[in-house]
């Protein structure tokens, strides 16, 4: 039985299955990628950019069909799925527009006579290991810049996303990408280990769980392969003061409930100063209670199911642990009756260090609210986590906001707005949230050979 299948999380019904690659097929794929590298890396930068422009165009032309696939595969609402497809198109277009500039030679000052510069070039075939929560967006932020550089891609997607994985491969083919410059592979974990070990693969990018990142990083290090790891997060949403609690609450709900709470950089811990804590909790609880879940194709649904029954059970185990140890459920805390991997929007308070919810990432529609005395306690609590992806801080004091931003041990900070993003803005974290950056100008620099070229003055 194949591990690659479409299990509709709204119904629990297995709708399609796809065969896992054989070992012989894996060997052939690696050779095809290696053979394609020579031609694709030698293609003019403007021609690579033209292909990515066409990829972006096709995403926009096929928005509805592509969106419907991921709604079936992982439960994203239709509106969110459409937004993700459009965002992926933006990423491909960003690198098509800016790639030539970002890859231009960089002149260096040198004390020796002559001219020195850095020339950026491709390194070879790369392996991408992608997650289910943003099937198109996650691939775009890996494949877009690296195809622009001239690297070739072997893409191992999540087992829950076989049809969107195949659809992406087809988009690249239809856009005129060189044959085998992007190859989808339905590989097992054991086969992935063999792919990483293969000398033809020059680097690995993983977006996923801390567990997956640790395993891949160990294998990559053993074989001297560069890695980029975009892993988990337990991002703080700090509210110190605000003239408009209702607006901040609206931001907080959106920050927690995006993609049914299944986002590594979603706000998960709401750290609120004592002076406005009670008002915030009251309004936040009311707003979260108003979130509706159900059929993700229904425009009236606020958020869809979690990706799987296993995910829903795992999240509820974290909630139940907290409640058993004294946490207060302000709203939610249960699963609706009937089929599907649905979980009620939940707000927990009085969470303490002995509870799993204090340290673990809550990957779903569950928010934890903490009361703090002021900025110092807020920063201490915000940093008291193994993760360091992002965070945001709300205060009318701009100087205090910047001070807090400097003290947060994270890769990203947003001031007086929920965490956002854009194709031009680097994404990544610190601590156990991973290493490396994606998107923006830094995203194109992760898998490049920065070759020094020096020409003497008399040459």
- Token pair, residue 48, equals 């690579």
230 is annotated as an active-site residue: yes
Q: Give 111-116's long-range contacts (Cβ < 8 A, gap of 24+).
A: 112/454, 112/456, 113/456, 113/457, 113/458, 114/454, 114/455, 114/456, 114/457, 114/459, 115/454, 115/455, 115/457, 116/452, 116/453, 116/454, 116/455
Q: Are 229 and 213 in contact (CB under 8 A)?
A: yes
Task: Single out the residue of 133, 51, 65 nearest to residue 93, CA to CA.
Answer: 51
Q: Half-sphere exposure of residue 228, counting CA atoms within 13 Å on the CB side?
A: 27
Q: Which of 230, 258, 419, 438 is catalytic?
A: 230
Confirm if 400 and 374 have CB atoms less than 8 A apart. no
Instruction: Enter the tokens of residue 63.
Output: 């928005």
**SS3 of residue 227 by DSSP:** strand
Active site residue 264: yes
Strand order in the sheet with 434-435: 182-184, 152-156, 125-129, 203-207, 226-230, 434-435
- Quote the CA–CA distance of 302 and 414 in Å, as a whole number: 24
Q: Which of 163, 169, 264, 446 is catalytic?
A: 264
- Residue pair 59/171 in contact (Cβ under 8 Å)? The answer is yes
If one counts every other C-beta atom within 10 angstroms of the C-beta of residue 25, the result is 15
Distance, C-alpha 422 to centroid of its chain:
12
Helix (H) or strand (E) holding 18: strand 13-18
In this structure, are residues 92 and 52 in contact, taking their beta carbons and an 8 Å threshold? yes
CA distance 375 to 238: 9
Q: What is d(CA 294, CA 304) in angstroms, rounded to the nearest whole number?
A: 6
Catalytic positions, please?
Answer: 230, 264
């Amino acid at each position: 039985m194949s591990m690659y299948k479409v299990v509709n999380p709204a119904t629990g019904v297995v709708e399609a299955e796809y065969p896992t690659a054989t070992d012989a097929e894996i060997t052939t794929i690696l050779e095809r990628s290696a053979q394609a590298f020579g031609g694709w890396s030698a293609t003019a930068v403007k021609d690579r950019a033209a292909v990515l422009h066409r990829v972006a165009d096709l995403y926009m032309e096929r928005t509805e069909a592509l969106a419907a696939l991921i709604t079936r595969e992982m439960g994203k609402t239709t509106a969110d799925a459409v937004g993700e497809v459009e965002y992926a198109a933006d990423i491909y277009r960003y690198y098509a527009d800016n790639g030539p500039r970002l890859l231009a030679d960089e002149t260096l000052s040198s004390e020796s006579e002559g001219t020195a510069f850095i020339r950026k070039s491709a390194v070879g075939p790369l392996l991408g290991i992608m997650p289910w929560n943003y099937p198109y967006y996650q691939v775009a932020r890996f494949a877009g810049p690296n195809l622009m550089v001239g690297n070739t891609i072997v893409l191992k997607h999540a087992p829950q996303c076989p049809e969107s994985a195949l659809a992406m491969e087809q988009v690249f083919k239809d856009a005129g990408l060189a044959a085998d410059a992007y190859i989808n592979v339905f590989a097992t974990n054991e086969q992935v280990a063999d792919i990483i070990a293969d000398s033809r693969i020059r680097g690995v990018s993983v977006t996923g769980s801390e567990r997956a990142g640790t395993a891949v990083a160990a294998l990559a290090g053993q074989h001297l392969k560069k890695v980029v790891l975009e892993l988990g997060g337990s991002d703080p949403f700090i509210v110190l003061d605000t003239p408009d609690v209702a607006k901040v609450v609206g931001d907080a709900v959106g920050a927690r409930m995006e993609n049914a709470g299944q986002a590594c950089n979603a706000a998960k811990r709401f750290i609120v100063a004592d002076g406005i804590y009670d008002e915030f909790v009251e309004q936040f609880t009311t707003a979260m209670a108003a979130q509706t879940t159900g059929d993700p194709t229904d425009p009236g649904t606020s958020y869809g199911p979690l990706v799987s029954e296993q995910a829903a059970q795992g999240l509820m185990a974290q909630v139940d642990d907290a409640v058993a140890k004294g946490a207060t459920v302000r709203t939610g805390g249960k699963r609706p009756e009937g089929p599907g991997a649905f979980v009620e929007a939940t707000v927990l308070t009085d969470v303490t260090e002995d509870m799993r919810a204090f340290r673990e990432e809550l990957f779903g529609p569950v928010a934890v609210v903490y009361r703090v005395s002021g900025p110092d306690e807020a920063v201490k609590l915000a940093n008291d986590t193994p993760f360091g992806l992002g965070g945001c801080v709300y205060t009318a004091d701009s100087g205090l906001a910047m001070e807090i931003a400097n003290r947060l041990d994270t890769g990203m900070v947003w001031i007086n707005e929920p965490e956002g993003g854009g194709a031009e803005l680097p994404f990544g974290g610190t601590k156990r949230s991973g290493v490396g950056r994606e998107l923006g100008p830094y995203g194109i620099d992760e898998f490049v050979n920065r070759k020094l070229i020096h020409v003497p003055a008399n040459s």
